[in-house]
Amino acid sequence: MKIFLDANVLVSVLNKEYPLFTYSSRILSLASHRKFEFYTSPLCLAIAFYFAEKKHKTQLAKQKIDLLCQYLKIAGDTPSGVFDTLSNKSIHDFEDGLEYYAALSVDCTCIITEDIEDFYFADIEVINCQEFFRRHLLN
């Protein structure tokens, strides 16, 4: 299963933000499991770095992003993703559109985010960490 992780999930892991960290860290720990492939985008990494840097300073934030990147695959922010976002009249938030099309570019079937309502236009499953945990890890 190919899964796209939104920036807010990454931030919760990097900054140990509870109560979300309880779920997001366990989900991320599955990165080496053959059943799951986790993706994010350069944009999500930039957002996560911004918030990690505010809490941990630049050097530690870079180390945290570097460690994170060892476990995630990176879906490209492509020119077609930009143009698809711009031409999709149902997308009102440019950032969310870029993330959505990055996920589609690598055939993700699920986006994990804490802002489910931001992806109202998605044609793939969009769930939060707790719901992903219930559906895919407690079975």
Q: How far apart are CA 113 and CA 12, in angstroms?
A: 11
As for how many domains the chain has, the answer is 1
pLDDT band at 76 (very low <50, low <70, confident <90, very high): confident
- Which CATH number belongs to the domain containing residue 115 in this structure? 3.40.50.1010
Q: What value does the mean pLDDT take over residues 118-136?
A: 94
Q: How far apart are CA 67 and CA 65, in angstroms?
A: 5
Q: How far apart are CA 2 and CA 20, in angstroms?
A: 21
The pTM is what?
0.94
Parent domain of 74: 2-137
Over the chain, what is the mean pLDDT?
Answer: 94
Residue 64 has which token pair? 């945290």
User: Model confidence over 54-70: pLDDT tens digits?
Assistant: 999 999 999 999 999 99
pLDDT, position 59: 96
pLDDT band at 139 (very low <50, low <70, confident <90, very high): low
Residue 89 dihedral angles phi and psi, to the nearest 5°: -65, -20
